[in-house]
Amino acid sequence: MIIDIHVHPFYHETKILNEMQMAGVDRGVLLGVDVDPLDVDKPEIKKKLRKRYLTAGYGFHTLRFASIEDNIKHFYETLIDYYPELKTSNQEIGDLVRRNPNKFLGFGSVNPNKEEAYVQEKLEQISDLGLKGVKLLPTLQLFSPIETENFKRICDYCEKNKKVLLYHTGCDPGPWEIPELSEDANPKYLEPILEYYSPIIILAHFGSYSAYKPGIWFNEAIEIGKKFDNVYFDSSAVSSFVFRQKNLKRIKEEIGLDRLIYGSDYPVVWGSSMKYEVDVIKGCKLITEDEKENILGLNAANILNLAPY
Ligand SMILES: [Zn+2]
């Protein structure tokens, strides 16, 4: 049984189903993303972004506009241009799952920068639609896990309602390749929150995604995993880092391979595919067949309460 824990429904469902079939993936977890580009104009967010952009200090000349806010807005516009079928609202995720109940599972999303009432409403919607988890990204959603009260509410909701929290860690494309701008996605900031709340939380990308510094917060991710056994990890967008001998050995010794989960991040990793990502794990000579089965599907089935078959 192969479960892909990290799929973005940016294409038509027949294309996603076809991709899954080619890779031998039985179930795909479709992720919602609730973002508001206008959040960058909130005074406290703008101030934080500008300060971090300045402290970055080194020349990221690929950015197009002088102000960081304009670069961020431009990034969201490009995403919509590039994937015209971008379907990421909770309702759309719910509809995709309803039409393909044996193939898809859904995680909703909620923007933590909004009012408490907005967050409550979205969480209720996630429950009503029968979605299995919540996807959050401190990068694209521009929130700090420490300073944003709503993040605690979402952790509390996930813990009480047995929803899985898939939480982006590491850098992200576009302006978020600047590590200073992605700082909130350093897993170390989760520590004080996880002292109080114990949702099942998956650190997407193992704290490691970065085009410039692969493995950027791998150490911090390992530390959080050692401290809290409700912390899991997905290998999406970082399989070339995670399945390297030295790193895999550390994961095995310090966390255990029963908390490592396959994900492809389809279709956003340039030059990759679900099949490629599955084959990386199937072909890895450093792990046993049982360990491969766990990483490819059984670990995810366990936290999603799916019967293995
Ligand atoms: Zn992703």
- Enumerate the domain spans of the chain: 3-303
The pLDDT of residue 59: 58
Give 28 Cα–ligand 1 centroid separation in angstroms. 13
Give 293 Cα–ligand 1 centroid separation in angstroms. 22
The pLDDT of residue 85: 81
The pLDDT of residue 125: 98
Give 173 Cα–ligand 1 centroid separation in angstroms. 10
CATH code of 3-303, in short, is 3.20.20.140
Q: How many CA atoms lie within 13 A of 168 on its CB side?
A: 27
134: nearest Cα among 170, 115, 160, 100: 160
Sheet architecture: strand order including 231-234: 3-7, 27-31, 104-109, 133-136, 164-170, 200-209, 231-234, 260-261
Beta 200-209 vs 260-261: how paired, if at all? Answer: unpaired
Contacts of 132 (CB under 8 A, 6+ apart): 29, 105, 106, 107, 163, 164, 304
Which neighbouring-strand residues pair with 261?
Answer: 234
Give 211 Cα–ligand 1 centroid separation in angstroms. 14
The pLDDT of residue 54: 81
Give 83 Cα–ligand 1 centroid separation in angstroms. 14
**pTM, 2 dp:** 0.96
Q: Is 201 helix (H, G, I), strand (E, B) or coil?
A: strand
**Is residue 11 a contact partner of residue 96, using CB atoms and an 8 Å limit?**
no
Q: For residue 136, count other CB atoms closer than 10 A to its CB.
A: 29
Give 113 Cα–ligand 1 centroid separation in angstroms. 20
- Using CA atoms, how far apart are residues 221 and 274, in angstroms rounded to an integer? 24
* Token pair for 75: 């990034």
Question: What residue type is 109 in one-letter code?
Answer: S
Give 135 Cα–ligand 1 centroid separation in angstroms. 9
The pLDDT of residue 81: 85
Residues around ion ligand 1, judged by CB within 5 A, are 265
Query: Cα-flanking dihedrals φ and ψ of residue 133, to 5°?
Result: -170, -175
The pLDDT of residue 103: 98
Give 167 Cα–ligand 1 centroid separation in angstroms. 10
Give 264 Cα–ligand 1 centroid separation in angstroms. 8
Which neighbouring-strand residues pair with 3?
Answer: 27
Give 72 Cα–ligand 1 centroid separation in angstroms. 17
Question: What residue type is 235 in one-letter code?
Answer: S
Mean pLDDT by 10 residues, the chain (309 residues): 97 96 98 93 92 75 76 88 87 98 98 97 98 97 97 98 98 92 97 98 98 96 98 97 98 98 95 95 97 98 87
Query: Cα-flanking dihedrals φ and ψ of residue 23, to 5°?
Result: -95, -5
Give 76 Cα–ligand 1 centroid separation in angstroms. 14
Give 246 Cα–ligand 1 centroid separation in angstroms. 25
